[in-house]
Amino acid sequence: MTLGLALASLNCGGLVALPSSFVSEVDNIEGGASRSLPVRFAGGACTIGTSTARTVARIRPTLVMPTDVVAIADFTSDLLPPAVINVNVRCTAECVGASVELSGSTVSEAVASGTHALFRMQHIRPLPKVANRLVVSISGTAIRFWLNGIGFGPFHTAVAAPGYVGFNVANRDGSVPAEAALVRLQVFAPA
């Protein structure tokens, strides 16, 4: 894959606070107002998480990104069962992205009619407690994703408008905290 212009970049190594061009927030999976989220900075990572069921913690650039982007997230996580980690693109009222968890990987879109899985694969999953790379590329209606260098797609989405790009960790049931340590988040225009 060839990358174009860098649109946003966050390298968590050595940080003690997020730069002003990024924000951390938490909200309910069903929507509603976002609230500020504390971030832990240690070991070259920005760690976010939530212990509340059906909530999502995220780090994202403050600016809306163009419609077509390539987003790259390097992260580690214990990947305990309630944790779902994803990279979303084109997020405003609608959203599309790739999520990974111990039970597999999914590409899904959230539109007015509900959330729809575009792809689901049980044997494609991240590794707990080691560095993983999740890449999401979207151009026109085609979305592709790579997990640790293995690529899938294209899948086609109805989400068409520009929007935010975010690195997220969701907690399905609140049984234990869901956390992820973001090492690096980069957003590029496709070449």
Q: What is the pTM of this model?
A: 0.95
Please state the domain extents for the chain: 6-187
CATH 2.60.120.560 correct for 6-187 = yes
Rounded Cα distance between 30 and 22, Å, is 23
Angstrom distances, CA of residue 178 to CA of 70, 141, 148, 168, 172: 25, 31, 21, 10, 9
Q: Going residue by residue through the chain (191 aa), what tens digit of pLDDT does each one get? A: 678 999 999 999 999 999 999 999 999 887 778 899 999 999 999 999 999 999 999 999 999 999 999 999 999 999 999 999 999 999 998 999 999 999 999 999 999 888 899 999 988 899 999 999 999 999 999 999 999 999 999 999 999 999 999 999 999 999 999 999 999 999 999 88
Give the helix, strand, coil percentages of the chain, each rounded to 5.
0, 65, 35
